[in-house]
Each structure stands twice: as structure tokens, then as C-alpha cells.
Amino acid sequence: MKGKSLTVALIGLLMLNQGCTKKEEEKVNEKPLKLLVVEPGHFHAALVQKSMYGDVDSVVHVYASEGPDVKAYLDKVEKYNTRPEDPTRWKEEVYTGADFMEKMLSEKKGNLVVLAGNNQKKTDFIKQSVDAGLNVLADKPMAIDSPGFELLKEAFASADKNKVLLYDIMTERYEITNTLQRELAALPEVFGELQKGTPQNPSVVKESVHHFFKYISGEPLVRPTWFFDVKQQGEGMVDVTTHLVDLVQWSCFPNVTLDYMKDIQILSTKRSATKLTPSQFKLVTKSDKFPDFLSKDVMDTTLSVYSNGELNYTLKGVHAKVSVIWNFQAPEGTGDTHYSIMKGSKANLIVRQGKDQKYKPVLYIESADKSKGYEEVLTRNFKTIQEKFPGIELKKNSAGWEITIPAKYETGHESHFAQVANKYMEYLKAGKLPEWEVPNMLAKYYTTTLALKQAMEKK
């Protein structure tokens, strides 16, 4: 009997030790970041999860209203999990219900909220999340109108008070031609000084053409019907324009803290609509009819979407122009396009993405100085950029030089989401954003929302 008791005790001790070991292993394997994906209504939510991250737990807690949006998000993540090459390993734990936000905030099963969906509610979701002490990585735009901007200001103040980081997903900073344009503009011997320009001849121009119907991860993109309601998605002036305004700030005044009350002056604004037929709407949404909330924008069976916007303004005295156009579908063999020019006293830096560039962005240096002396200066200074980006080269042409870029840097729009996420996680580890980031995010959304307000008042 005594021997039996001893055996039971030993087995119990062994089991206890095994339990401790398992708990210790779980603790060792525990990742510091746990994702909370809230109301994922845009495909960008899934693109954040196209890659795995060393510091992010594989279990993702999803909180959403029931419907096609969350299903589309889960389907995309499942495709990433089951792809043959480098599959992801996300485990999605999903809660759906009208009280999804309250449920997320009461359970707090993670510490990093990812927001990419209906922009009408996004700013409020941001504010509630940071108020609850949660970090937030939000897709653009974080605000789509002036009241939203005021709420966003409160959200940044709350994030600072609660020691959490609020950050938006600026993927265009990671497109290689945008990156190199900024690097070259920082070389005084090559670029000279950024010109002030005039309203008629701005020093900085950024133009973007997008398409409602496109392919994402090799499949036709199905957009939610609310995407075409500017009350929910936001007008062109406050949506994609966010990227362009960000690039103007980031390229022209790198690492400089901007004061939106002093440094920005809106000069002129313009907005217009893209028209969609019922058949086009069905192709991109799979919906047989326009929903009731779009009836305000339908005339003679055609839907008008105010997705186009143009903004002329000054930033610290520099004249800039940004414009966004949305067409329904790009012609065969083409896609979204981007044009950008920065005018310096010694050279212009130009990104073109048209037919001659086979619809891929190409960066050019065009200088009025054709002397051998300038070429030698350019070649010498360009070596500092080649050290950062090995493999890029200068190729002379009739107008100046083309920057030839190895394929390894042309990773594509979808990969930029992981680059943004990784940069944000560096900031989380450091416990802070760069000093200029929050003021400049505020400057960006001040610019876009004020521009929209002024454009709408022109009616």
C-alpha cells in the first residue's frame, strides 16, 4: 500500500513537472504582439496578414458585423495560409455581432488593433481603441471630413496620454521610385534647392490614376457596395489624396516637424464624379442593383461617385499640386499610374508611369546643366545612394538620366503592407514614433479635410 502511494505521488509530481514545462514553453513561445482585427471591410486588412511577423502571435482575434465583408477578409487570409509557397500560419478566432466593438473592448484579447474598412466609423473606432490603451495601425484615411479631423486630434492626444502608438499605413513611401526621389532631393549638389514655384507652375506635382475594377493577389477584386458611397468611403479628396499629401511632406521636408496652423495654405480645390453604369457596378460588387443608400447619387440609372479631386496649396511656402482620378477599369496591359515631379534649382526629379515606361514607374533626373562638370558631380554623389541601394545605376538619355532599378526593389504594392507593419513594430519596440510623425499626420489630415470642406462650399 505504501509502495502504491509512493508511485501515485511520483506520477503526480511528474505530471506537475510536465505541466510546468508546458507552461514554460508557452511562455517562451509567447509573442509580444497580438492582433485585434476590427470590422475588416477593405482588402488592405488582409494584406497586412500576407506575411508573418516575428513578434506577432499567430492567433488573430477578429471582431466584425456579420456579412460579406468579414467573409471576404477571412477568405483572403485562408488563401495566404494555403498557398504553396511560403504559406502563412494565421489562426483566426472570429466574433460577429452588432456589438463587435463593445465585445473587443471588454475582452481585450490583444494589444494591437488593425483597422481597414468603412471610413465613416473608422475615426470613432480609432478613438475608442486608444482610449482603451490599445495600439492602432490604421489604413488610410484616418479621417474623411472636418469633424473627423477634430476627433482624430483627440485620438492622438489620448494615445499620447495612454502611452500607445497610433499610426497610418503609408505604403507609397516604400515604392522604390518614391524612396529614391526623396533620397536624390536630399543631395544639394545634384538637386539644388527645392523651388518655391507658383500657383500656375507648382514646384511639386503628384498625380495618381486608380481603377475601381482591378486584380488583387491574382483575382478580380470584389468591392463592398458601401465603397461607392462617399459618406462611408470618403471622397477622392480625402482618400487616395492622403498618400499624395503624405509624399509631398515626406519628400520635401524629410524629418521636419510641420505645424499645420502655420505651414499650410489651401489655394484652390476641385472635385468631380466618376460615372458607373449598373453593369459596371455589378461587375465590381456582384450586386444586382444599387443599394438604397446610393439612391442620392443615382440619376437616370447612372451612379456618380465623387472620387476625383485636385488640390493646390503651399507647404512652408512651396507650391504643390496633388490630384487623384478614378476610372472604372484600366485598358488591357495597363494599371494604376503615378506621376510625380520635384523641381530643384539644379535638376528636376520626375517619376513617370505611362506607355513609354510600360506602365511601370520610372525615375528620371533632368537637368538644364548638360555640362560634363554636372555629370561628374552627379556620378560622384550618386555613389552615396548606390551604397544604400546596391545595383541601381544611372543611364544617360537625351533629356538627362534614367535610374535603372533591379527587380529585387520592385516588390509591388501588396508587399509594402508588410514593410509598413515591420516599421511600425520597430516603433512599438522603441516605445515611440519619430518626433515628426504625429504632427505631420495631423498636418496631412488637416490638409485633406480642409480641402474637401472648401471644395464642397464652392457648390
Radius of gyration of the chain (CA): 25
* Segments in 259-301 forming alpha helices (H): 260-263, 278-285
pLDDT value at 187 more than 50: yes
Q: Looking at residues 30-43, what average pLDDT do you find? A: 92
**Helix H or strand E segment including 104:** helix 100-107
Name the band, by pLDDT with cuts 50, 70 and 90, for residue 343.
Answer: very high
How much is the pLDDT for 1?
47
pLDDT per residue as tens digits for the range 44-57? 999 999 999 999 99
Residues 6 and 51 in one domain: no
pLDDT higher for 251 or 4?
251
Name the band, by pLDDT with cuts 50, 70 and 90, for residue 219.
Answer: confident
SS3 state of residue 343: strand
Of 121, 142, 168, which residue sits at a domain end?
168
Name the band, by pLDDT with cuts 50, 70 and 90, for residue 218.
Answer: confident
pLDDT per residue as tens digits for the range 77-98? 999 999 999 999 999 999 999 9
Report CA-CA distances (Å) from 36 to 47, 179, 226, 300, 410: 15, 30, 23, 43, 30
How much is the pLDDT for 424?
97
Of 112, 144, 168, which residue sits at a domain end?
168
Residues 114 and 254 in one domain: no
Residue that has been written with the C-alpha cell 516588390 in this structure: 411
Domain count of the fold of the chain: 3
Q: Looking at residues 449-459, what average pLDDT do you find? A: 91
Q: Looking at residues 176-198, what average pLDDT do you find? A: 97
pLDDT per residue as tens digits for the range 278-312? 999 999 999 999 999 999 999 999 999 999 999 99
Residues 244 and 180 in one domain: yes
Name the band, by pLDDT with cuts 50, 70 and 90, for residue 359.
Answer: confident
Q: Looking at residues 187-202, what average pLDDT do you find? A: 97
Q: Looking at residues 119-145, what average pLDDT do you find? A: 97
Task: Name beta bridge partners: 363.
Answer: 351
Residues 24 and 55 in one domain: no
How much is the pLDDT for 10?
47
Residues 264 and 333 in one domain: yes
Contacts of 311 (CB under 8 A, 6+ apart): 237, 241, 245, 266, 268, 269, 270, 321, 322, 323, 447, 448, 451
pLDDT value at 4 more than 70: no
Name the band, by pLDDT with cuts 50, 70 and 90, for residue 411.
Answer: confident
How much is the pLDDT for 31?
87
Ranking 3-7, 106-110, 213-217 by mean pLDDT, the lowest is 3-7
How much is the pLDDT for 24?
53
Residues 425 and 450 in one domain: yes
Q: What is the distance of C-alpha 71 from the center of its chain? A: 22
Q: Looking at residues 134-158, what average pLDDT do you find? A: 98
Residues 339 and 309 in one domain: yes
Query: Can you give the pTM of this predicted structure?
Result: 0.90
> For residue 58, what is the domain's CATH number?
3.40.50.720
Q: How many CB atoms lie within 10 A of CB 379?
A: 12
Residues 232 and 272 in one domain: yes
How much is the pLDDT for 81?
97
Residues 290 and 384 in one domain: yes
Residues 188 and 143 in one domain: no
pLDDT value at 155 more than 90: yes
> For residue 418, what is the domain's CATH number?
3.30.360.10
What is the residue-averaged pLDDT of the chain?
Answer: 92
Share of the chain above pLDDT 90, in %: 84
Give the domain range for residue 25: 1-29
Q: What is the DSSP string of 227-260?
A: GG-HHHH--TTTTTHHHHHHHHHHHHSTTPPP-H
Residues 88 and 18 in one domain: no
Burial label for 165, CB within 10 Å (0-12, 13-18, 19+), is buried
Q: Looking at residues 219-236, what average pLDDT do you find? A: 91
pLDDT value at 21 more than 60: no
Q: Looking at residues 258-270, what average pLDDT do you find? A: 98
Residues 55 and 193 in one domain: no
pLDDT value at 270 more than 80: yes
pLDDT per residue as tens digits for the range 316-334? 999 999 999 999 998 777 7
